[in-house]
Amino acid sequence: MRTMIMAALLAGVASPAIAQTATASEAEGGEIIVTAQKRAERLVDVPLSIVVRTGEELKNGGINDFNQIMSRVPNLVVVDTPANKSITIRGIGTSGNSFSFEQSVALFVDGVYGGRNRQYNQPFLDVEQIEVLRGPQGALFGRNTSAGAIAIRSTRPTQTLGGEVSAEYETVRGSTNVTGIINAPVSDKLAVRLAGRYALNNGWLDNTTLDRKEPVADQYLLRGSLLFTPSDTVTLFAKLEYTKQDITGSAFEFVPAGTRPDYLKDTDDAFSPERDNSDNWNGAVQLDVELGTHTLTAITGYSYYGYEQAFNIQARRPARLVVDNSERFSQWSQEVRLVSPSDTAFDYIVGAYAEWGRSRVRRQSTIDTPAPPGINTITFRTFDQDTDVLAAFAQAGYKLTDTLKLSGGLRWTNIRKRGLVTGFTRLFNVPPAPASLTIPRADLEGRFTENAWAPSATLSWSPNRDLNLFLRYARGDKGGAFSEFQNVTADTFILAPEKSDVFEAGLKAQFPEVNGFFSLVAFTTDYSDLQKSALDINTASFITSNAAGARTRGVELEASVSPVEGLRLSAAAAYLDAFYTSWPNGPCRFDNPARLVPGCTQSRQGDRLQSSPTWTGNLAIDYDRPVSDSLRVFGSGFLNFQSDINYQESGSPLEVQTGFARTDVRLGVGSADRKWELALLVRNLFDVRTSSLIFEVFPVGVGPNDRAHVPDPRRSFTLQGRVAF
């Protein structure tokens, strides 16, 4: 009977298209284990909307970064803006063009917080598990989780000597990816693990002017980690990792009105070669001490990145607007928490957190006006910011009955920020004689202190160990910020903090006899003082403000089942309605006649949020069976779909990627003991052409309906090989 129910649930969501749900870290019996509430728990017991992806799934799918994982997580949108990544969950995110805003979706890697958009640029390496937490997570995870959080766990060293070498070769563009991992016990108390990767990702656009493919990315990744267990009650994990990326060219293509991307571009290096060169260092030390039935955990984190980039914002010749950016960022953090056992009537977590961060940004824009006398403009500005954070948090749960549990949490956060913007504008070829003119801008310096409270409350009912129904309320927030854009004034320099309040109702169930899982969550979230930045096409600068209010509501579904040995069917889908409840001074829509007036604003109440497709989801089938004592065959098919998405606030249909469905297929053979395998991965089997970003270009020298696109890669064939020892 339960098998029939599970099949019916899968059939109900399979009609549009459905998603892959691979097995996560598993306890005995195949139950999925997560750490979304800072303790190890079964996924079915956690009253949150969570999507879990394992390292094995990432390897098999050739998923090496956040852009590629987006298709596996409904209601997650990743956009590569000209400057940085923008991560959106349930329609809420932060523009990648701002260097001062932190993300509405916080990143935690091995327990260490990362709130800068650049920290999402690092590729994945030797990942054990990724957990995507949808919805505000302020009580336990802290600030900048107004939309959600993403937690990544690296694979820990073990007491088993072994390793792995894997390689990928993409036959269409000649891209390569080689990864090596070795794990070794040094003694019965100490184990070490070393992982490294080199990847050459050749571009998918043809630059006809420079006669090369773009963008071409060289990536070097290296991580060393150790696990030290001096006694049965003490465990120490430490890691240090380095990532270097050198990218030549960009993925931007100029698309004239009435045409679609043809994967050709004609930019040159007249002003500055298009590039993105970065270095990242990350370190973490986690100490776990068992104090009787409790566990005391201390996590020390360090993060650093530095980069330089340049891009032609018009994606065409002659270069009319070229942007050069650079940043140096460093952060130290410390968390200490005490966790009680979870198998008692009353359980709790208490902790404290501190963080110190510093950012130094340099930005330059070069504008070449084509009409005589051809005045060229260079705008240069700097932005320096220092951040200090202190926080205390607690969460407790009490079993009202054997099946009913009430939980509540609260976090207090104190944020102190100091910011300074400086700069100047320099004009060249100024008439009547060719000359230069420097116009200094007034420095803007500010500081502020905030105190934020983030409560949460959950009521869970579990009539048996395989079923959980819950109601949840939570508050999230994103701290106040400075605006560092070119047109900032004293009145617009400081933005208020962003707040969110979510109400969720959910059901989770597992079906052990068929290794099945089902989750259904309905949500509605209200946002106040939403931090926004939108392009003013007249000045090629961004307008920053706090939108008065927004609302996102919808339903998220996930299901998986193994009806027979070796076969797994998986499904996930999400429906989203995301709109502004109030934004009286928002940027003007594309159809407003006054839009070409610099600084044009209008009410945007009722308009849909950018980067918020109504439907997202996917479907997967995986089969893995032995054909002899020594050999196995395997195959998988994956289909993801997305409805229309508008990438910009203007609301123009020219900036909409229409809905699509895309298919990946993987076939292979390997040893029965999984010591080696060979596979062919076909991405985008039917060669569906889509764009992951569309934006309006600066109007000098272009038409009103011209746009720049970031076309997605077309169909590719990748040979995969893996040897374990």
In 289-396, alpha helices (H):
none
Phi, psi of 293, deg, nearest 5: -90, -5
- Is the pLDDT assigned to residue 614 strictly greater than 90? yes
**CB-CB neighbours of 184 under 10 Å:** 16
Per-residue model confidence as pLDDT tens digits over 257-304: 888 999 999 888 777 789 999 999 999 999 999 999 999 999 999 999
Q: What is the pLDDT of residues 663-700, one digit of tens each?
A: 999 999 999 999 999 999 999 999 999 999 998 886 65
Map residue 653 onto helix, strand or coil: helix
pLDDT recorded at residue 370 = 58
Give pLDDT, residue 388: 98
Cβ-contact 498, 480 below 8 angstroms: no
In a 10 Å sphere around its CB, with 0-12 CB exposed, 13-18 middle and 19+ buried, how is residue 422 labelled?
Answer: middle
Q: Which of 202, 206, 203, 204 is nearest to 266 (CA)?
A: 206
Residue 432 has pLDDT above 80, yes or no: no
Residue of 524, 646, 648 whose CA lies nearest to 577: 524
Question: Is residue 356 scored above 60 in pLDDT?
Answer: yes
Mean pLDDT of the chain: 90
Residue range 206-227: mean pLDDT, rounded: 95
Q: Does pLDDT of 360 surpass 90?
A: yes
Per-residue model confidence as pLDDT tens digits over 6-49: 444 343 333 333 233 333 455 445 688 999 999 999 999 999 99
Q: In what order do the strands lie in the sheet with 49-54?
A: 49-54, 127-134, 148-154, 105-109, 112-114
Decide if 276 contacts 225 (C-beta within 8 A).
no
Give the pLDDT confidence of 98-116 residue by residue, as tens digits: 788 888 999 999 999 998 8
Residue 230 scores a pLDDT above 80: yes
Of the candidate ranges 173-177, 290-294, 361-365, 636-640, the one whose mean pLDDT is the lowest: 361-365
Task: Compute the distance between CA of residue 112 and CA of residue 114 in angstroms, rounded to an integer.
Answer: 7
Residues 6+ apart with CB under 8 A from 344: none
Residues 6 or more apart from 625 whose CB is under 8 A from it? Answer: 565, 566, 632, 633, 634
Check residues 700 and 551 and name the one with the higher pLDDT: 551
For residues 621 and 628, give the distance between their C-alpha atoms in angstroms, rounded to a whole number.
22
Instruction: Place 2 in a pLDDT band, splitting at 50, 70 and 90.
Output: very low
How far is residue 47's CA from residue 381's CA, in Å, rounded to a whole number? 46
pLDDT reported for residue 122: 86
pLDDT of residue 433: 60
**In a 3-state reduction of DSSP, which class is residue 14?**
helix
Q: What is the pLDDT of residue 484?
A: 86
Q: What is the pLDDT of residue 121?
A: 85
d(CA 292, CA 683): 51
State which H helix or E strand residue 369 sits in: none
- 318 pLDDT higher than 80: no
CA distance linking residue 195 with residue 25, whole number of Å: 20
Over range 50-72, report the average pLDDT: 94
Q: How many structural domains comprise the chain?
A: 1
Task: Identify the three-state secondary structure at position 202.
Answer: coil
Q: 441 is in which domain, residue-wise? A: 2-724
Residue 598 pLDDT exceeds 60: yes
DSSP for residue 280: E
3-state secondary structure of 132: strand
Q: What is the pLDDT of residue 24?
A: 41
Span 386-426, pLDDT tens digits: 999 999 999 999 999 999 999 999 999 999 999 999 998 88
Q: How confident is the model at residue 81 (pLDDT cuts 50, 70, 90)?
A: confident
Lowest mean pLDDT among 449-463, 524-538, 683-697, 708-722: 524-538
User: Is pLDDT larger for residue 573 or for residue 272?
Assistant: 573
Residues 234 and 627: their CA atoms lie apart, in Å, by: 45
- The confidence score (pLDDT) of residue 547 equals 83
Q: Which residue has the higher pLDDT, 123 or 555?
A: 555
Query: DSSP state, 157?
Result: P
Neighbouring residues of 516: CB distance < 8 A, sequence distance ≥ 6: 2, 3, 6, 510, 559, 560, 561, 562
The CATH number linked to 74 is: 2.40.170.20
Return the SS3 of 324.
strand
480-509 pLDDT, tens digit per residue, is 999 888 778 888 899 999 999 999 999 999
Distance from C-alpha of 597 to C-alpha of 545, rounded to nearest angstrom: 18
Distance (Å, rounded) from C-alpha 84 to C-alpha 211?
26
Angle at CA of residue 42, ends 469 and 395, nearest 5°: 75
CA distance linking residue 278 with residue 267, whole number of Å: 22
Checking phi first, is residue 292 left (phi over 0); if not, alpha (psi -120 to 50) or beta?
Answer: left
Q: What's the rounded Cα separation, in Å, for the pair 469 and 15?
A: 26
pLDDT category at 189 given cuts 50, 70, 90 is very high
Output the CA–CA distances (angstroms, integers) from residue 134 to 57, 239, 622, in the order listed: 20, 28, 26
- Report how far residue 611's alpha carbon sits from residue 86's, in angstroms, rounded to the nearest whole number: 10
Residue 429 above 80 pLDDT? no
pLDDT in the model for residue 94: 87
pLDDT at residue 603 above 50?
yes
The DSSP code sequence of 58-88 is HHHTT--SHHHHGGGSTTEEEEE-SSSEEEE
What's the CA gap between 32 and 79, in Å, rounded? 30
| pLDDT of amino acid 539 | 66
User: Which are the contacts of 477, defined by CB distance < 8 A and separation ≥ 6?
Assistant: 138, 143, 144, 145, 146, 413, 452, 454, 497, 498, 499, 500
With a cut of 50, say whether residue 628 has pLDDT above it.
Answer: yes
